[in-house]
C-alpha cells in the first residue's frame, strides 16, 4: 500500500485534534454505529480536563489505496520539544490557522522548524464559520509569516484550503462546497511526497518513548531504511555513535486508526513502534548490528526556566501521599527526562533536592500535576530563569515574544504593567471588534506570575500568548510581588472566628477546619511586609448570657490558587507544598527565628 506521513501543526485551540476526529470518521476508520468521543486523540486525563494536547500522538487512516499516517502535535509553546522531535518523521505538514485569530506565536515557532527541514506545508484556514472570520486578511498574514521565516519559492507557493472542522468540511473555496473533508485528503495525496527510503540495513530513529506493563519499553519512530521483523537482532546507537545496548525486537506494532496493532514486518517509510530493548531512549538510532553511523537527530532548543523539587519536610508530610522519599522522587524525574527531551534534571549538593529545567511554567506544572496524581509529595520552589553568559562573559537572559489581544479600553493598563516588568512594546494595532493586538519583547522572569494580574486588569477579556524569542543582555532588577503574606504562628485547625477577625488584614487562602502549621501561608497581607497571625483562636466563652443573639460568622470566599497560580505567586523564600490532596503555600524556613537570622545576615552582606 502507498504511504504518506503528515503532521498537523497549529497554535493552541486552533482545532487540530477536532480535525483529526473528523478525518478518522469520514475515512471509514469507525463503523457507522460505533460510539466515539470528542477529541479522541487527547487520551490523557489532564489533556481531557484542560482541553489541550500535551503529547504528540500518531494515528492512521486509509484513503484511495493509500495509508496516511497523521501525527497530532501539541499547540502550546511549552511543549515545543514534542513538536521538534516528530517533524523529521513526516514528509509534509498541514498548517491549521484560525480564520479570526490568524497566525499566533506557536504557529510561527512550529512553521519555522518545518520550513527549516524543507517540508512544504498545506495551509488550512479553519473556523471559517465564525462571524468574526477574516479569511482573506489571515491568508495575507500567513504569506507574510512564510516570507519572514525565509521560505523558499517552492514553499511560498503553498496550497490553501478553507473550512470548519466543527462543521466537518474543507474546500478550496471559502464558500464551499460544505460537504466533507475529501478536498483535504485528496490534497495530501497530491501535494505530500511519498516517504523516501535509504538503501541498506534496518535503521530507525526513536522519536517517542512509552512504557507498557506487558511489553516494557516501546520506542516509536519512522523506519529510515530496510525492514524490521520480530526476533530480529538489533542494537541502539546514541547521537555520538556509541553503542547503548544490543537486543532483539520482541514485537512490532503499527498505528491503525486509534489502535496500535501487531504486524509481521515493518517497511521503510512507515511509522512503527518497537518493543524488546531496555535502555534505548529518545534520539537513539535502532539499527541492524552492521550499521555504524547513527541518524542525526534534530537539536532541541534549550530550557529557559528551572524549579527546585525537594522532599516535602513540612509537619504534615506523609499524611496524604505514599511516595515521599528522595530516592523515589529522583527515579521518577529521571524516568520523565528519558521520554521528554525538553526536560533537564540536575542533582544538587543537597541530597533531597533536584533542579528541573524546562521550556516554561506549564510544562513543569503538568509534570508536578502528574506526580501528585501518582501519590507523590513534593516541595517546589519558585520558577527561576536559566541565565547564560556570552563570549565576553556578559550575563544574558531569555526573552519572550508576547502577543496580547485585549479590549481597547484596557490596553493602556497592559502596556504600563508590562513596561514595569522591563518589556518593550513592538507593535500595537487593531484586531477588529474594538480589540487591540499588543506585541512585546519581555524578559521571561518578568512574565512569571503576570497572567493572573493580566486577567484581573482586563476583567478576564485578554488572550495571552508567549513564545521563546532568544537571549539578550540582562535587563536589570524587576520588582516582584507587591504584597506580603499572612503566616500561621501555630499548628492546628483554623477556626472561623479567627479568620473573620483577620479579614481586614487581607484576603485569606484557607477555610475553617483547614490544617495549618507554623510558617504556612494562610492569606495575603494588604501591606508589603509578612505578618504572623493566629488562625486557631476561638471565641472566648463565659457563663454570662449575652443580651442579643450572637450573629453567625459570615466569611468572605477564600482565594483558591491553582497549581500554576501558586507556583507563580510565591516569592524566592517560599515553597509550594504539593500532595495528592492539597496545594499549600509555606515559607522555606518555618521557624520565625531562623527567618530573622537569615534576613539579618542578608542585610549585613548587602551593607
Residues of the binding site for GTP: 13-18, 126-129
Cα separation, 300 vs 240, in Å, equals: 15
3-state secondary structure of 502: coil
DSSP state of 569: H
Nearest to 22 by CA among 87, 114, 94: 94
Cα separation, 536 vs 492, in Å, equals: 7
> 195 Cβ partners below 8 Å, 6+ apart?
3, 4, 5, 91, 222, 268, 269, 270
Nearest to 71 by CA among 220, 228, 218, 284: 220
> 403 Cβ partners below 8 Å, 6+ apart?
104, 105, 437, 438, 439, 465, 466
Cα separation, 240 vs 334, in Å, equals: 21
* CA geometry: angle 18, 21, 25, nearest 5 deg: 145
Q: Using alpha carbons, list the distances in angstroms from residue 131 to 102, 135, 432.
A: 14, 11, 12
Q: Using alpha carbons, list the distances in angstroms from residue 576 to 105, 258, 493, 584.
A: 30, 38, 19, 6
For residue 177, say if its preceding peptide bond is cis, omega within 30 degrees of 0.
yes
Cα separation, 90 vs 107, in Å, equals: 18
**Residue list for the binding site:** 13-18, 126-129
Cα separation, 74 vs 72, in Å, equals: 7
Q: Find the distance separating the first CA and the last CA of the chain, reported in whole Å.
A: 76
- Kindly provide the b/e burial profile for residues 402-433, where b requires at least 16 CB atoms within 10 angstroms of the residue's own CB: bbbbbeeebbeebbeebeebbbeeeeeeebee
Cα separation, 463 vs 133, in Å, equals: 17
Cα separation, 257 vs 70, in Å, equals: 10
**Rg over CA atoms, the chain:** 27
Amino acid at each position: 500500500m502507498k504511504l504518506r506521513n503528515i503532521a498537523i501543526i497549529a497554535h493552541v485551540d486552533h482545532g487540530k485534534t477536532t480535525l483529526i476526529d473528523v478525518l478518522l470518521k469520514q475515512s471509514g476508520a469507525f463503523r457507522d454505529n460505533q460510539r466515539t468521543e470528542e477529541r479522541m486523540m487527547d487520551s490523557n486525563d489532564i489533556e481531557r480536563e484542560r482541553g489541550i494536547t500535551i503529547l504528540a500522538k500518531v494515528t492512521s487512516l486509509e484513503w484511495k489505496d493509500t495509508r496516511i499516517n497523521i501525527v497530532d502535535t501539541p499547540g502550546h509553546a511549552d511543549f515545543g520539544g514534542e513538536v521538534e522531535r516528530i517533524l523529521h518523521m513526516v514528509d509534509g505538514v498541514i498548517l491549521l490557522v484560525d480564520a479570526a485569530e490568524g497566525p499566533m506565536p506557536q504557529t510561527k515557532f512550529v512553521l519555522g522548524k518545518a520550513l527549516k527541514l524543507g517540508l512544504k506545508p498545506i495551509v488550512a484556514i479553519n473556523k471559517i464559520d465564525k462571524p468574526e472570520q477574516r479569511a482573506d486578511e489571515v491568508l495575507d498574514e500567513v504569506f507574510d509569516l512564510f516570507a519572514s521565516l525565509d521560505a523558499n519559492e517552492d514553499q511560498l507557493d503553498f496550497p490553501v484550503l478553507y473550512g470548519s472542522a466543527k462543521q466537518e468540511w474543507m474546500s478550496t473555496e471559502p464558500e464551499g462546497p460544505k460537504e466533507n473533508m475529501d478536498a483535504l485528503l485528496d490534497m495530501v495525496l497530491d501535494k505530500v511526497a511519498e516517504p523516501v527510503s535509504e538503501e541498506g540495513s534496518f535503521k530507525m530513529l526513536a522519536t517517542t518513548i512509552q512504557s507498557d506493563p506487558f511489553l516494557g519499553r516501546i520506542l516509536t519512530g519512522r523506519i529510515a531504511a530496510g525492514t524490521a521483523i520480530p526476533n530480529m537482532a538489533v542494537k541502539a546507537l546514541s547521537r555520538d555513535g556509541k553503542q547503548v545496548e544490543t537486543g532483539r525486537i520482541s514485537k512490532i506494532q503499527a498505528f491503525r486508526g486509534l489502535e496500535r496493532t501487531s504486524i509481521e514486518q515493518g517497511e521503510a517509510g512507515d511509522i512503527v513502534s518497537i518493543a524488546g530493548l531496555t535502555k534505548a531512549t529518545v534520539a537513539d538510532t535502532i539499527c541492524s548490528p552492521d550499521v555504524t553511523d547513527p541518524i542525526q537527530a534534530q537539536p532541541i532548543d534549550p530550557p529557559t526556566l528551572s524549579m527546585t523539587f525537594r522532599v516535602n519536610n513540612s509537619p504534615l508530610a506523609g499524611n496524604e501521599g505514599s511516595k515521599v522519599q528522595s530516592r523515589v522522587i529522583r527515579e521518577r524525574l529521571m524516568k520523565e527526562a528519558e521520554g521528554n527531551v525538553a526536560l533537564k534534571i540536575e542533582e544538587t549538593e543537597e541530597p533531597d533536592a533536584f533542579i528541573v529545567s524546562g521550556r516554561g511554567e506549564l510544562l513543569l506544572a503538568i509534570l508536578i500535576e502528574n506526580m501528585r496524581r501518582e501519590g507523590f509529595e513534593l516541595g517546589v520552589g519558585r520558577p527561576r530563569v536559566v541565565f547564560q553568559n556570552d563570549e565576553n562573559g556578559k550575563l544574558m537572559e531569555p526573552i519572550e515574544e508576547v502577543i496580547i489581544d485585549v479590549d481597547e479600553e484596557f490596553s493602556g493598563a497592559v502596556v504600563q504593567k508590562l513596561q514595569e516588568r522591563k518589556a518593550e512594546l513592538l507593535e500595537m494595532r487593531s484586531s477588529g471588534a474594538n480589540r487591540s493586538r499588543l506585541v512585546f519583547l519581555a524578559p521571561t522572569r518578568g512574565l512569571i506570575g503576570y497572567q493572573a494580574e493580566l486577567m484581573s486588569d482586563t476583567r478576564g477579556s485578554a488572550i495571552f500568548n508567549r513564545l521563546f524569542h532568544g537571549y539578550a543582555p540582562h535587563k536589570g532588577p524587576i520588582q516582584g510581588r507587591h504584597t506580603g503574606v499572612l503566616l500561621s504562628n501555630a499548628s492546628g485547625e483554623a477556626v472561623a472566628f479567627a479568620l473573620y477577625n483577620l479579614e481586614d488584614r487581607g484576603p485569606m487562602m484557607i477555610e475553617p477546619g483547614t490544617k495549618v502549621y507554623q510558617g504556612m501561608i494562610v492569606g495575603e497581607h494588604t501591606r508589603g511586609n509578612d505578618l504572623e497571625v493566629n488562625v486557631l483562636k476561638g471565641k472566648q466563652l463565659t457563663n454570662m448570657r449575652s443580651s442579643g443573639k450572637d450573629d453567625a460568622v459570615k466569611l468572605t470566599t477564600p482565594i483558591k490558587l491553582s497549581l500554576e497560580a501558586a507556583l507563580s505567586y510565591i516569592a524566592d523564600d517560599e515553597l509550594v507544598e504539593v500532595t495528592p490532596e492539597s496545594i499549600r503555600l509555606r515559607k522555606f524556613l518555618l521557624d520565625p527565628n531562623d527567618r530573622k537570622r537569615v534576613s539579618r545576615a542578608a542585610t549585613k552582606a548587602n551593607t
